[in-house]
Every structure is written in C-alpha cells, then in structure tokens.
Amino acid sequence: MLIIMGLEAPREDIEKVKTKIELCGCIPHEIPGSSKLAIGITGPTNKLNEDDFQLMPSVHEVVRVTKKFKLVSRQMKSEDTVIDFGNAKIGSKELAIIAGPCSVESREQMFLIADQLKNMGINFLRAGAYKPRSSPYSFQGMKEEGLKILDEVKNKFDIKIVTEVLNPGTLPLVAEVADIIQVGARNMQNFNLIEEVGKTGKPVLLKRGMSATVEDLLLSAEYILAQDNYNVILCERGIRTFETSTRNTLDLNAVPVIKSYTHLPVIVDPSHGIGIGDKIAPMALASVACGADGLMIEVHPNPAEAMSDGFQSLNPKQFEKLLGKLSQLAPIVDKEFELCRTVK
C-alpha cells in the first residue's frame, strides 16, 4: 500500500500518517519524488484500512500495490531513480560506463588501466579484490591488499570504485573503499549479505543470478530498499540455458521488462553475458539500443595476460573504439554520452 501526499504537506501531517502505519505493526517508507510525496508501507498491510488514510489531512490518494515487490515498483515511485556521484550519475539520461579488469592483479596494472580509462572520460572503475571462483584451487583475488590498491587508485585518479563483496565479514573493509558495492550473481539470493550491504547506505550494484527470474531479481533488490537504501543498480549479465556456444545467454529482453516494472537503473554486463572477446562490442551496443542505463565492461591493459577472464576482456584500444560507437548510438535512444576530448 502506498499513501500519496502533496509535496507541500506539513511535517505534522506526514508524521501522523507514519504513526498510524506503525500502530498497525507496519513500516512506513518515505519515498522521494519530484511532484509528490509517497509513503510506502511494508509489513502486514492487511491490518490496514484504506479508508482510514483517505480522510487524513494532506493525503491525496491511497494506492494498492499488486506486485510482490513493493518499494522497487513503478507503482511506488514512477520517476526513474538517479544516483548522483558528483562528477557522474547512474540512472539519468547520461549513459553510465563502468570499466576495468576482472581482478586487481597488481598496483602497476591498476594504475595503468585507471589512467587509461580516466583519459577516456570513464568515471567508474571496476576490479575485484575478492573473487568468487567455482574451484577452490583457482586464484581468489588479492583480497585486503587489492582493496588497498583500489583505495590508492581512487584517490589518485578521482575515479569511482566498483568492487565486489563476498561475505559480511569483509563488508566493512569493502564498504570503506567502494563507491558502489557489487553483489555478484552467485550471491543475489544470499539474503543476509544483501541486507547487510543495504544497511551500509552505499550504492549497490546487484547482479542477476544465473537462474534468477526478473521477479527474483526485483525481490532481492527489495531486500536492500527495505533497509531504506534506494541506491540500487540492477545488472543483467546472462542466464543459464541449454546453449553452449556462449558462456551465458544474455537476456536483453529483461532490460525493457525490468525498466517497466521498476524505477531503479538497469545496466548490462556484456562481458559475462557472452564471454567471447570479439563479440562484446556488438552486445554492448545492443544493450544500450534496448534501453540500458549503462554498461559494465571488462577492460584489461593486456587481456592475454589477465589472471582471470582474459578471454572476455577488451583491450583499451578496442574499448575506445566501442566508446566512439556508443557516443553515436546514445542520442538515438534518448541517452547522452559525450566522448572525452582525448579520444580521437
């Protein structure tokens, strides 16, 4: 259930509505909007009586929310959520590009790629310090040492850091460095972790699980919003199907479908989505063409020598070429993407 009030509603009226909700054992959530104030309600809403609210001062409307997901739904908030990072935004008309290597491998590697990306006008750097790997014998990341490198890079290049958290134990360390905390596909339904991540208040990048439906993804996001953290970015990265010629099946259908269900930004990771280096650029273009708010792309100074996922990384030159195409494509789908002057 959702209580719509005017933006001009006095604080007193708002508090009265919230108190009434709490008296019934439910939780009120103030949802920021540009033309009206909405109070979302979660909990045992069957105990609430619509009519009781309709007559309260400053209340314009009472709306039933019919989807299983509440706070993430367009019914709760019709306008797009925009997450503002100062020098860049995610969810606005501005196309958001997150780029970088799969893993932090060394200080040199990170300084090199951060410099290259920053010069191309990229404001979000991705790189994993902790790596989830199917086999216990694979490289698991540089861990705390990797985080330290990311912190240095962040300060030196004024670039936002996107990095993955694997468990609540290391969350405080990750949250200190990350501008956006990434939750990987395998942890999308690790509900305790996502709740804890939500509580940090930091923007969260939530990747869709390999066998998660669109509804599952939105319900997981709901766990984060229920912590009153509205800064969630959803990421399509491919699902598991019978097809074996590609690493995953990138479900681009999900982009317009998710955008119609939720106000949250949606980005696409074509690197994992197809898993074949020379086919990432076309899938990146397709992602933007069908309405993605941004992209997350693996870029490595030297893909052939990457410690993980090199086969699906672009080198800086290939990436720069893709940026050129994106800048041409963006306006066609009502997005903006300005190439940095340094890109020829």
**Interacting residues with a copy of itself between 22 and 61 (CB under 8 A):** 42-43
Q: Are the beta carbons of 324 and 339 closer than 8 angstroms?
A: yes
Q: How far apart are alpha carbons 49 and 21 in whole angstroms?
A: 10
135 touches a copy of itself (CB under 8 A): yes
Task: Using the minimum distance from each CB to a copy of itself, give the nearer residue, 8 or 334.
Answer: 334
For 300, the 3-state DSSP assignment is: coil
Q: Which residues contact 150 (CB under 8 A, 6 or more apart)?
A: 104, 110, 125, 127, 129, 161, 163, 177, 178
289 touches a copy of itself (CB under 8 A): yes
63 touches a copy of itself (CB under 8 A): no
**Interacting residues with a copy of itself between 164 and 223 (CB under 8 A):** 166-169, 186-187, 189-193, 195, 209-211, 213-216, 219-220, 222-223
Task: Using the minimum distance from each CB to a copy of itself, give the nearer residue, 110 or 222.
Answer: 222
Long-range contacts of range 142-148, CB-CB < 8 Å, 24 or more positions apart?
142/103, 142/104, 142/105, 143/170, 144/170, 144/173, 146/103, 146/104, 147/173, 147/174, 147/176, 147/177
228 touches a copy of itself (CB under 8 A): no
**Interacting residues with a copy of itself between 240 and 269 (CB under 8 A):** 240-246, 249-257, 260
Position of tokens 């509900």?
A: 191
Neighbours of 324 (CB within 10 A): 12
Taking the complex as a whole, how short is the minimal distance between the CB of residue 276 and a copy of itself, in angstroms? 7
Q: Which stretch binds a copy of itself (CB under 8 A): 86-94, 143-151, 308-316, 325-333?
A: 325-333
Q: How far apart are alpha carbons 114 and 225 in whole angstroms?
A: 31
67 touches a copy of itself (CB under 8 A): no
Q: Which of 33, 121, 132, 310 binds a copy of itself (CB under 8 A)?
A: 132
Taking the complex as a whole, how short is the minimal distance between the CB of residue 39 and a copy of itself, in angstroms? 16
Query: Of 335, 339, 344, nearest to 91 (Cα)?
Result: 335
Task: Using the minimum distance from each CB to a copy of itself, give the nearer residue, 101 or 291.
Answer: 291
- Structure letter (DSSP) for residue 57: T
Q: Are the beta carbons of 235 and 115 closer than 8 angstroms?
A: no
Taking the complex as a whole, how short is the minimal distance between the CB of residue 242 and a copy of itself, in angstroms? 4
Q: Are the beta carbons of 258 and 218 closer than 8 angstroms?
A: yes
Task: Using the minimum distance from each CB to a copy of itself, give the nearer residue, 98 or 193.
Answer: 193
Task: Using the minimum distance from each CB to a copy of itself, give the nearer residue, 113 or 193.
Answer: 193
Task: Using the minimum distance from each CB to a copy of itself, give the nearer residue, 76 or 166.
Answer: 166
Task: Using the minimum distance from each CB to a copy of itself, give the nearer residue, 14 or 292.
Answer: 292
CA-angle at 323, arms to 319 and 325, nearest 5°: 115
Q: Which stretch binds a copy of itself (CB under 8 A): 7-15, 53-61, 160-168, 305-313?
A: 160-168
Q: Are the beta carbons of 38 and 77 closer than 8 angstroms?
A: yes
Taking the complex as a whole, how short is the minimal distance between the CB of residue 245 and a copy of itself, in angstroms? 5
